[in-house]
């Protein structure tokens, strides 16, 4: 803690003490303490805000596209391929710096403002990014839910019963993690030609091993605690102990793992789509947009000699990075907020 | 130690059998008929297709097909020795079943036969392994030699701009998709600046002589991209561990005795901070192997990952399965290496 932090902290403390005329303080629950420590963590708040914005953009992709662009993500216009982003010329036009470029671009596109340019078929990149984000995010969220439910269930059962159940489960998991997951996914996805729904199922059903191992370790710790013994002593069934006592006490850990999982799944989905195995065109995802854009890496404008496809290369990758980064940061921030044991280890 | 290694290698056998069963089951549950892919010609009669299916053993139940793929032994009911023996397969009649030996099962060392080129899978993989190892080992070393010092320095200068930069970088480094980073580096250094080659393992020339400088120039971009994740993880963990070790009594003693900071941090603190790093080596190797398929695709690197991917697109299942087996073997060996090094770095750990 720096000097400045200490001083702001102590002023906050004095203020809080001054505000409390009576000694009666509100009781603090675990969650309210976590929420308070989260509220102080600016970086995590920014990340949460970012994910919120991404989610809103994805949900309202249709409305936003209609309002801003006016054409759908799959409307082609071969005459207007590789148009540069309209955003900068538009600003220059409005500021009166460059009155020529923006109207010319509008003329080429038939009056449609392509804020982030167009791809090789003249499709609007902004619209494709929005719709692609919808696909990528919903796949990652649903797959993460499947993976977490499976992982928590299997991990809890293995950790709770230990013995041969644990041995069998761990052998199974260790076998599967001996194959680099990406190859496992490549095989499955190549064989079954997925649509968004089946891809979600594959990612979910092949993504729970880490969570299960993590949960198992956690259950090993928790089941030795007194309250588990107390529950057993009053005759609680195994199922009750597991799902009413152990799992709720692991919820902080589960939340942290889920946030990081969603980030990972966005990455994995984009890798598969990039390799040409995930969601197939014309449906846009950030990964397969990059797969296309990559083919035009060397394409230069015959007149100016400048690369044509820069805007197609930058935006999808940037969005993947920012989204994944946000989920990782949320995972980190939640770890600090939810896990008091780790709080001092930073 | 030797006994430990032998025991671990023996334990790997059931795991590998498990890997083979799971990947075989996945590949052979695929819809569609492999025979149709080879006999698309309408002139081929239905009888000829059946004969081919019989010859490939595709008319058998899945468990028997697995045995055939894994051991090279085809088991059939009844005495069919005369009908089934050919130049490559020798059949014998044993206790009510005919057993034919094609000599090319997975455990015979050749990992089966590629459907596409009819070569043994192992032969095709062996050509590609050096390229993948070259890339993988280089990037692992890069990750270690960049990530570890970054982590230590970041802990030593805790709270400084440098520290914050390293921490920022280590989070971003994990979030950037490697293929995008690869594309952007190719774009900047290959296309715009023209400093480095945009792909491949060496410049194509008539003579194809070994040219070290040329090889290194080709290696720079892909190995940096592949090392990215490792650098991020290593620097992050090394920072945490060094911070923990710095506050221990023995480091304080060394400091009190007037030891220089370089020696203090990079010799005394370093050795203990390094211990947990060794457990990360296994996952790091796994990450490099998994990343290989992406990086090799982006950089047109002639390695195993790219071979596997193209085999996937060609539906060459024996080839894909063989490659998966090899990747699994590498993974298991990597984990073993990581455990052994753990014992080497920390003498308190006895490997039993």
B75: enclosing H helix or E strand: strand B73-77
Nearest to B175 among A188, A192, A328 (CB): A328
Which residues make Cβ contacts (< 8 Å) with residue A297, sequence separation at least 6? A307, A309, A313, B183, B186, B187, B191, B198
3-class DSSP assignment, residue B94: strand
Q: Is some CB atom of chain A closer than 8 A to the CB atom of B37?
A: no
E strands of B186-321, at which residues?
A: none
Q: How far is A103 from chain B (nearest CA, A)?
A: 29
**pLDDT less than 50: residues of chain B:** none
Decide if B23 and A307 are in contact by the 8 Å CB cutoff: no
Sort B300 into a burial class: Cβ within 10 Å, 0-12 / 13-18 / 19+.
middle
Tell me, what's the pLDDT at A10?
61
Q: What digits encode the pLDDT tens for the residues B88-103?
A: 667 777 777 777 777 6
Residue of B nearest to A171 (CA): B15
The alpha helices in A162-308, defined as continuous H runs, are 163-177, 181-192, 196-205, 209-222, 226-233, 238-240, 247-249, 251-274, 286-294
Nearest to B15 among A174, A190, A294 (CB): A174
Alpha-carbon torsion, ordered B173, B175, B178, B183, to 10 deg: -90
Nearest to A187 among B23, B179, B187 (CB): B23
3-class DSSP assignment, residue B91: strand
Query: Which residues in chain A are closer than 8 Å to B159, comparing Cβ atoms?
Result: 2
B100: enclosing H helix or E strand: strand B97-101
Tell me, what's the pLDDT at B249?
85
Neighbours of B248 (CB within 10 A): 13
Residue position matching structure tokens 């790093």: B277
Q: CB–CB of A258/A272 below 8 Å?
A: no
Tell me, what's the pLDDT at A143?
92
**pLDDT less than 50: residues of chain A:** 1, 343-346
Cα distances (Å, whole numbers) of residue A50 to A47, A142, A327, B206: 5, 19, 9, 53
Tell me, what's the pLDDT at A150?
92
Query: Which residues in chain B are closer than 8 Å to A260, comparing Cβ atoms?
Result: none
Which residues make Cβ contacts (< 8 Å) with residue A277, sequence separation at least 6? A186, A189, A190, B312
CA distance linking residue A246 with residue A227, whole number of Å: 9
Which residues make Cβ contacts (< 8 Å) with residue B36, sequence separation at least 6? B49
With b for 16 or more beta-carbon neighbours within 10 A and e for fewer, the A226-245 pattern comes to eebeebeeeeeeeeebbeeb
Nearest to B290 among A176, A180, A310 (CB): A180
Q: How far is CA A271 from the centre of its chain?
A: 14
Tell me, what's the pLDDT at B68?
79
Query: Which residues in chain A are closer than 8 Å to B187, comparing Cβ atoms?
Result: 297, 307, 310, 313
Q: How far is A18 from chain B (nearest CA, A)?
A: 32
CA distance linking residue B130 with residue B136, whole number of Å: 10
Nearest to A183 among B172, B308, B315 (CB): B308
C-alpha closest to that of B335 among B273, B297, B296, B285: B285
Q: Which of residues 153-172 of B touch A (CB under 8 A)?
A: 159, 171-172
Decide if B324 and A297 are in contact by the 8 Å CB cutoff: no
CA distance linking residue A279 with residue A202, whole number of Å: 12
The string of DSSP letters for A244-273 reads IIIHHHTHHHHHHHHHHHHHHHHHHHHHHH
Q: Does the complex come out with an ipTM higher than 0.90?
A: no
């Amino acid at each position: 803690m720096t000097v400045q932090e200490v001083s702001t902290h102590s002023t906050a403390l004095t203020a809080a003490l001054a505000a409390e005329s009576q000694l009666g303080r509100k009781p603090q629950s675990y969650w309210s303490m976590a929420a308070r420590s989260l509220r102080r963590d600016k970086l995590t708040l920014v990340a949460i805000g970012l994910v919120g914005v991404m989610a809103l953009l994805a949900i309202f992709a249709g409305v936003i596209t209609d309002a801003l662009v006016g054409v759908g993500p799959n409307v082609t216009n071969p005459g207007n391929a590789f148009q540069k982003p309209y955003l900068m010329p538009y600003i220059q036009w409005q500021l009166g710096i460059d009155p020529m470029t923006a109207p010319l671009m509008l003329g080429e596109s038939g009056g449609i403002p392509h804020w982030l340019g167009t791809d090789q078929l003249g499709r609007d990149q902004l619209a494709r990014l929005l719709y692609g984000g919808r696909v990528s995010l919903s796949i990652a969220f649903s797959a993460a839910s499947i993976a977490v439910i499976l992982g928590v269930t299997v991990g809890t059962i293995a950790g709770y019963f230990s013995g041969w159940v644990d041995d069998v489960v761990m052998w199974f998991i260790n076998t599967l993690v001996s194959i680099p997951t990406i190859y496992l996914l490549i095989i499955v996805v190549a064989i079954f030609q997925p649509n968004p729904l089946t891809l979600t199922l594959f990612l979910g059903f092949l993504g729970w091993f880490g969570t299960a191992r993590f949960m198992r370790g956690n259950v090993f710790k928790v089941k030795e605690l007194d309250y588990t013994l107390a529950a057993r002593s009053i005759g609680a069934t195994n199922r009750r102990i597991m799902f009413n006592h152990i799992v709720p006490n692991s919820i902080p850990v589960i939340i942290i793992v889920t946030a990081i999982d969603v980030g990972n799944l966005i990455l994995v989905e984009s890798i598969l789509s990039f390799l040409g195995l995930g969601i197939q065109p014309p449906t846009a995802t950030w990964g397969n947009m990059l797969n296309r854009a990559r083919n035009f890496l060397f394409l230069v404008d015959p007149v100016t000699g400048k690369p044509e496809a820069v805007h197609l290369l930058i935006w999808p990758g940037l969005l993947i990075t920012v989204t994944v980064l946000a989920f990782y940061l949320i995972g980190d921030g939640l770890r600090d907020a939810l896990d008091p044991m780790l709080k001092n280890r930073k | 130690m030797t006994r430990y290694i032998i025991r671990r290698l023996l334990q790997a056998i059931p795991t590998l059998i498990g890997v083979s069963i799971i990947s075989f089951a996945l590949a052979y549950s695929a819809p569609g008929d492999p025979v149709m892919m080879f006999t698309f010609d309408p002139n081929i009669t239905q009888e000829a297709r059946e004969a081919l299916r019989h010859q490939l053993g595709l008319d058998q139940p899945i468990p028997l097909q697995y045995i055939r793929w894994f051991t090279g032994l085809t088991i059939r009911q009844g005495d069919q020795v005369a009908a089934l023996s050919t130049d490559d397969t020798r059949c014998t009649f044993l206790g009510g079943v005919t057993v034919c030996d094609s000599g090319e099962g997975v455990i015979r060392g050749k990992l089966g036969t590629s459907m596409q080129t009819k070569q043994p899978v192992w032969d095709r993989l062996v050509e590609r392994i050096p390229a993948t190892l070259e890339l993988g080992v280089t990037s692992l070393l890069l990750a270690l030699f960049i990530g570890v010092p970054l982590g230590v320095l970041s802990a030593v200068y805790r709270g400084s701009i440098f520290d914050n930069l390293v921490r920022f970088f280590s989070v971003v480094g994990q979030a950037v998709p490697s293929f995008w980073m690869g594309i952007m580096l190719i774009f900047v250094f290959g296309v715009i600046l023209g400093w480095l080659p945009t792909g491949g393992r060496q410049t194509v020339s008539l003579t194809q002589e070994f040219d070290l400088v040329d090889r290194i120039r080709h290696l720079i971009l892909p190995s940096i991209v592949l090392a990215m994740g490792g650098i991020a993880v290593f620097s992050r963990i090394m920072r945490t561990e060094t911070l923990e070790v710095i506050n221990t009594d023995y480091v304080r003693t060394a400091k009190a005795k007037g030891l220089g900071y370089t020696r203090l941090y990079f010799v005394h603190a370093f050795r203990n901070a390094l211990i947990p790093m060794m457990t990360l080596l296994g996952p790091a190797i796994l990450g490099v192997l998994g990343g290989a398929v992406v990086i090799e695709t982006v950089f047109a690197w002639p390695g195993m990952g790219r071979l596997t991917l193209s085999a996937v697109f060609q539906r060459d299942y024996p080839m894909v399965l063989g490659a998966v087996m090899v990747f699994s073997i590498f993974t298991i060996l990597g984990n073993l290496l990581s455990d052994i090094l753990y014992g080497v770095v920390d003498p308190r750990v006895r490997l039993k």
